[in-house]
Amino acid sequence: MSIANNCKLEHTGTVVELTTDGVKVRVEQRAACAGCASQASCTLSTEKKDEIITVACSNPTLFQVGETVKLVSTRKKLYTALFWAYILPLVGLLASVVVCMELYNDELIAAVSGLAFCALYVLVLYCLPKRITRPLQIEIEKLV
């Protein structure tokens, strides 16, 4: 993964499947030292795994299976995804537990309220997936 000057996050991958609404891309992820110059001689660089990412695309016929493509996102999208996935649920969980402890002074009620908040948060995310994920979509580009 590289970060260009215009704050775009880029990663290359290989198209493995074309679907009606998108493209499935295999991205190789190394466990450590992704951009290191001595990666070939390093024993840590042998730890790798492939990940299949489905990228929404209005015209998947522009791509061919086996073609190398570039996946592009921005830092803003990354930070927004981190906010929705980690920051907001953590703050909500802690707030519900602290408020219930102050109001009721009962750990059981506070724990149940924290779990209830988490369940409600997951339900909201489940009911509104397009509204939340549409602005966070990864874009796919042909390599020139």
Give the domains, in start order, of the chain with CATH numbers.
Answer: 2-74+137-142 (2.40.50), 77-133 (no CATH)
> 107-127 vs 88-104: helix axis angle to the nearest 10?
150
pLDDT in tens, 23-76: 999 998 755 555 555 555 454 445 567 889 889 888 888 999 999 999 999 989
Report the alpha-carbon distance of residue 95 to residue 71 in Å, rounded: 37
pLDDT band at residue 9, thresholds of 50, 70 and 90? confident
State if pTM tops 0.85: no
- Partners of 12 in beta bridges: 70
Sign of the Cα torsion 50, 136, 134, 23 reads: negative
Pairing verdict, β 68-74 and 8-18: antiparallel
